[in-house]
């Protein structure tokens, strides 16, 4: 259902403590580990069916491990880009597609999926839901503010149930429109709205798994008891999954919030003040966000699971574009570190990594690696590689013209037929577009 009926974000009633199961999970293959984690939260799908859904989700990945770990100097890289769209969003959305179809078939219902993307979520969601029965999917992306390849990955999918909407605005505009439409309960009911953005709890749940898997692989190689994990983030969904994994007992010593110039999250975890700025276009467009939709989930736990306090803080933010919360005696949340990495640092990190290791980082991953180099310390560290570098050839060429940035999946998109509608970034326009499209 995406957003809860009252417009807030859904969370499980309890977070299980799995520290007594860490040893037995350590040797599991990725699908088996995913099944173990999912089973703790999913009690309405029989175990055998759930395992089939998991196997279906990850059979399309091009690496046997699904999410392999590659050692790279002092920092290990968790490659999350071996799915069909070459981005970490595939790991969740290739699972959600079969799950949605399964549930809708069981209930004899239909679903209209509405999503907003800053780049990779849209193509991953479309690949996960294209052609699936009883589902129509509408994806909003900021017109001319995603990379050309990201746009092609979305708009070249011509299945009848896929509808691409390029809005004349920013990702934050699209996210605001989406949340507003979900708060219209009559519209949500009449058009059976559902979500695939990380506002959907199942998206976050699917991402929890690779934190366990990645930390296990690092500790196998390097020893030790815990890992510092650096996460390039803009919308706080990916790193919130890491936060949940850490609460469950995953061997994570701390999480590094790695942002680009759109640094609302790194500023918060440095100062305790969450203050919206103007979105600045960067080399890492999927992180060009100033309002992180998953942030209020973190606030809920930070405020002692006091929903009333969270509502008051979010109202404060809506009215003044800023909120502040108290932290501990040292002024920060001890489970997080934070760094903002600018364009010059991003390019330098890509160039140095290729020169020293022969490994090409995409610009988002480079932000995470640069932050890890600043903050990770001497213990084992892991950086999430969120996209294949071939999705950002211009940035790679700026950093080092000799670094390869191609992939056969993307090469096949050149000259592909596309379908997309460019519309104003207005709630009424998006609403009417959905109504007219579904009316046929």
Task: Note the helical H segments in 163-259.
Answer: 171-183, 185-190, 201-222, 237-248
Beta bridge partner(s), residue 429: none
**CB of 408 closer than 8 Å to CB of 401:** no
Residue 207 to residues 149, 276, 423: CA-CA distances in angstroms? 24, 26, 32
Q: 166: closest CA among 192, 148, 180? A: 148
Q: 1: closest CA among 312, 9, 131? A: 9
426 is catalytic: no
Q: If you search the block for the tokens 């209020």, which residue do you land on?
A: 296
Beta bridge partner(s), residue 337: 256
- For residue 316, give both structure tokens: 């404060």
Residue 431 to residues 73, 215, 420, 424, 434: CA-CA distances in angstroms? 50, 43, 16, 11, 5
- Measured CA to CA, the distance from residue 10 to residue 202 in angstroms comes to 10
Q: What is the CA radius of gyration of the chain?
A: 20
- Measured CA to CA, the distance from residue 381 to residue 376 in angstroms comes to 6
Catalytic residue among 89, 179, 188, 391: 89
Q: Hey, how many other C-beta atoms are within 10 angstroms of the C-beta on 323?
A: 21
Beta bridge partner(s), residue 116: 140
**Among all residues, which ones are annotated catalytic?**
89
């Amino acid at each position: 259902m995406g957003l809860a009926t009252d417009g807030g974000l859904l969370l499980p009633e309890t977070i299980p403590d799995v520290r007594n199961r860490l040893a037995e999970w350590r040797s599991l293959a990725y699908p088996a580990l995913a099944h173990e984690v999912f089973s703790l939260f999913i009690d309405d799908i029989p175990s055998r069916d759930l395992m089939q859904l998991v196997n279906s989700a990850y059979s399309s990945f091009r690496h046997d491990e699904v999410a392999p770990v590659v050692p790279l100097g002092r920092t290990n890289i968790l490659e999350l880009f071996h799915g069909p769209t070459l981005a970490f969003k595939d790991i969740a959305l290739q699972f959600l597609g079969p799950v949605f179809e399964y549930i809708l078939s069981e209930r004899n219902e239909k679903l209209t999926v509405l999503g907003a993307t800053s780049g990779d979520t849209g193509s991953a969601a479309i690949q996960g839901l294209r052609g699936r029965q009883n589902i129509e999917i509408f994806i909003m992306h900021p017109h001319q503010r995603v990379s050309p390849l990201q746009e092609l990955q979305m708009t070249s999918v011509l299945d009848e149930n896929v509808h691409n909407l390029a809005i004349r605005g920013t990702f934050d505009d699209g996210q605001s429109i989406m949340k507003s439409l979900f708060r219209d309960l009559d519209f949500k009911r009449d058009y059976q709205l559902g979500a695939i953005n990380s506002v959907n709890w199942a998206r976050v749940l699917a991402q929890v798994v690779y934190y366990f898997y990645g930390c296990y692989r690092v500790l196998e190689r390097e020893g030790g008891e815990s890992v510092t994990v650096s996460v390039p983030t803009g919308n706080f969904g990916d790193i919130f999954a890491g936060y949940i994994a850490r609460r469950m007992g995953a061997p994570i010593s701390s999480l590094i919030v790695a942002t680009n110039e759109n640094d609302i999250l790194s500023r918060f975890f440095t100062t305790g003040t969450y203050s919206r700025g103007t979105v600045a276009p960067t080399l890492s467009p999927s992180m060009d966000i100033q309002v992180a939709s998953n942030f209020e989930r973190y606030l809920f736990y930070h405020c002692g699971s006091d929903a009333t306090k969270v509502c008051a803080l979010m109202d404060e933010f809506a009215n003044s574009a800023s909120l502040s919360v108290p932290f501990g005696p040292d002024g920060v949340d001890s489970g997080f570190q934070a760094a903002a990495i600018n364009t010059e640092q991003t390019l330098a990190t890509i160039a140095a990594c290729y020169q020293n290791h022969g490994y090409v980082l995409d610009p988002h991953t480079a932000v995470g690696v640069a932050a890890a180099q600043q903050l990770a310390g001497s213990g084992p560290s892991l950086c999430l590689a969120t996209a294949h570098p071939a999705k950002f050839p211009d940035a790679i060429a700026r950093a080092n013209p000799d670094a390869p940035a191609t992939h056969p999946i993307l090469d096949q998109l050149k000259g592909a037929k596309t379908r997309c509608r460019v519309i104003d970034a207005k709630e009424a326009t998006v609403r009417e577009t959905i109504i007219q499209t579904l009316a046929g």
